Structure formats: structure tokens, C-alpha cells
Amino acid sequence: MIGTGPGDLAHLTPHAKKALEESEVVVGYNYYLTLLKPLLENKKILGSGMKREIERGHMALKEANTGKTVAVISSGDPGVYGMAGVIWELIKTTGSSLEVEVVPGVTAATAAAALLGAPLMHDFAVISLSDLLTPWETIKKRIEAAAVADFVTVIYNPKSIKRTHQIEFLRETFLKHRDPHTPVGIVKNAYRPEQEIILANLHNFTQQNIDMFSIVVIGNAQTYQFNDKLITPRGYRL
């Protein structure tokens, strides 16, 4: 399970590159396979579309069970809402004794943070707003806790074409506990050619064009905007 980091090969670690090179089969979401193309020559490639994680997991296990070395790729880090959990869960449920390794990568939260400035310099919470696999009541509870305890908050899967009300609930909840001017950063397609960075605030951020390729970072009570950057003070006396 290899994390390929954000964007292109510039963020792929040598450890991840070596693991890819040693693999005979590479399994991944089609779009991410395209980004890795230069490294995939002479390998068996098994791609599939979005939301096909279980299918890709089974494909990978099937190949590995024939004795092949198989790479399962995730953009970012495979352990953050990625393929690492899927593979471990399948290994457990199928009683497999395959040897596996998780190769970490630069995760979307810190890639977005790097582009925004330094918003994650203090305690933060990471929440996915997708209720496909998680009861909405659980997500609501976490949104409320993050808002109350003044966590910098990173949102994955903030909004899709069909799923639009969750982010409005989040906004309303945060507005009960944080100033409407609290800075909010939105990063789309970090480190890819189509990268987009939007600076907004808690009052107006849901009016921005947010989609499933966006990471939303909401500042804590101390976060401020300086030029085009968001900075959360660590607490030093300067």
C-alpha cells in the first residue's frame, strides 16, 4: 500500500518509488495511475474508477495470492481514508497470510497546509464529510467537538454534486463558536497543474466553488491571514 503524495512524482518518496519499482502488478484508481505513468512500464496495471476500493482490494489480493508482488496505490498517504485500511480489513476477513507493508506519503492535509502557509501549527482535527460509509450523526458529533474545542479543522470530501447540506451544517456549527472572520483556506488539486487556492472566511467560504477534489482548512481562534497566507501561531513570544 503505497502513498504517492500529492500531485506528480515530485512528492513521491524514494521509499515509495523503490516499492513501486519492485512491484510486478500495480493496482489503483485510474486517474492516479496516469500521474505515475513514467514508473509503470513493463508492469501489469489494474485500474478502476472512483468508489471501487473494495474491488481494487480484491484484485490486489488475487494477484498477490498467485505469488506476485503487488503495489496498491493511494494518492497522499494510504493510511488516511486510503487503501491501507481496505487491504488490512480484507486480509483479516479472508484469513490471508500475505506479507504487507504500508508506505507512507505526504498526506493531503499537510500538502494543502504547505500551500496555504502554516495553518496546522496547532492542534487540529481531520474530518471527512462523506456520509456514505459513516452515519451522519457521528460526523455531526465530531464537527461539534472540533468547533467547541477550537481545533484547526481539515475537511476531506467537503461536498459533492449530490451532497451539499453537510458543509452548511458545519458552517453554522462553527459560527456558533468561532468568529465569522475566521480564515478558511480551500485547496483544490494540490501540486497538480490545475491547482487552485482560495482564501475565504467562516462567513462566506461555502459560497466558493468547493468539490470532492477540495481540502478545506478552517483556522482556530488565533489563525490570521498575512498577505495571501494563513498562519496559526504556535504560541511563541516573538
Identify residues 55-114 at the interface with a copy of itself (CB under 8 A). 77-82, 84-93, 102-107, 110-111, 113-114
Q: What stretches of the chain show up as alpha helix (H) in DSSP?
A: 14-21, 30-35, 53-65, 83-93, 108-116, 136-148, 165-177
Q: Virtual CA dihedral for 152, 77, 156, 119, nearest 10 degrees?
A: 30
Examine residue 146 and tell whether it contacts a copy of itself (CB under 8 A): yes
The residue within the footprint of a copy of itself, chosen from 53, 63, 170, 178 (CB under 8 A), is: 53
| Minimum distance from residue 189 beta carbon to a copy of itself (Å) | 15
Instruction: Return the range that interacts with a copy of itself (CB under 8 A); candidates 117-125, 165-173, 179-187, 204-212.
Output: 117-125
Cell numbers representing residue 140 in the block:
455531526
Taking the C-alpha atoms of residue 187 and residue 189, their distance in angstroms, rounded to an integer, is 7
| Minimum distance from residue 86 beta carbon to a copy of itself (Å) | 7
Binding mask 7-46 vs a copy of itself (x if CB under 8 A, - otherwise)? --xxxxxxx--x----------------------------
Are 199 and 227 within 8 A, CB to CB? no
Q: 182-194: string of b/e by CB count within 10 Å (b at 16+)?
A: bbbbbbbbbbeee
Nearer to a copy of itself (CB atom), residue 28 or residue 78:
78
Binding mask 161-200 vs a copy of itself (x if CB under 8 A, - otherwise)? ----------------------------------------
Phi, psi of 203 (to 5 degrees): -65, -45
